Amino acid sequence: MAQFSRIQVITKMKESGLIPLFYNSDINVAKKVLKSCYDGGARLLEFTSRGDFAHEIFQELNKYASKELPEMILGVGSITDGASASLYLQMGANFIVTPVLREDIAIICNRRKVLWSAGCGSLSEIAKAEELGCEIVKLFPGNIYGPEFVKAIKGPQPWTSIMPTGGVSTDPENLKSWFEAGVVCVGMGSKLISKDIVLNKKYIELTQKVSKTLNIIKKINN
For the segment 155-214, what is each residue's pLDDT rounded down to a tens digit?
999 999 999 999 899 999 999 999 999 999 999 999 999 999 999 999 999 999 999 999
Is 137 part of a structural domain of the chain? Answer: yes
DSSP string, 12-49: HHHHH-EEEEE--S-HHHHHHHHHHHHHTT--EEEEE-
Looking at residue 61, its amino acid is L
Is 221 part of a structural domain of the chain? Answer: no
Is 222 part of a structural domain of the chain? Answer: no
Its pTM stands at 0.96
Cis peptide leading into 141, omega within 30 of 0?
yes
Is 176 part of a structural domain of the chain? Answer: yes
User: Which structural domain, as residue segments, surrounds residue 195?
Assistant: 6-216
- CATH number of the domain at 169, please: 3.20.20.70
Number of domains in the chain: 1
For the segment 131-157, what is each residue's pLDDT rounded down to a tens digit?
999 999 999 999 999 999 999 999 999
